[in-house]
Amino acid sequence: MVADRRYKLIHCEGGFRPILFDLEADPDELQDLGDSEQHAAMIEEMYERLFAWTRRISQRTTRSEAQLQEMRTAIRRRGVVLGAYDENDMPLELTVHYRNRKAAIRKPAG
């Protein structure tokens, strides 16, 4: 994920298109612009920022490819689950820490 004051881009592995939000027009991140032709240049710019960040010296690793593969395999079922409307639609082990928790309801200002 990479963001600036206006846009937030989420890179999706597995050949899926990115997710893009215009944080000024859509602060609640409800409208995905990742397939918008009008935003293709912004998506490309955000990817350039993401790639520049990954190429920094501080992002380099001294682990072998085998060690990295072992780490990826060990944590395969952990992480953030996006887009799940109902916790019962997901395997229990992915949602056990979040079950029966509700997000706070925002009240409009004013």
HSE on the CB side for 89, CA within 13 Å? Answer: 6
How far apart CA 3 and CA 29 sit, in angstroms, is 12
**pLDDT computed for residue 67 by the predictor:** 80
Banded pLDDT at 26 (limits 50, 70, 90) = very high
pLDDT band at 46 (very low <50, low <70, confident <90, very high): very high
**Domain limits, the chain:** 2-59, 65-95
CA gap 46, 44 in Å, rounded = 5
Measured CA to CA, the distance from residue 10 to residue 83 in angstroms comes to 13
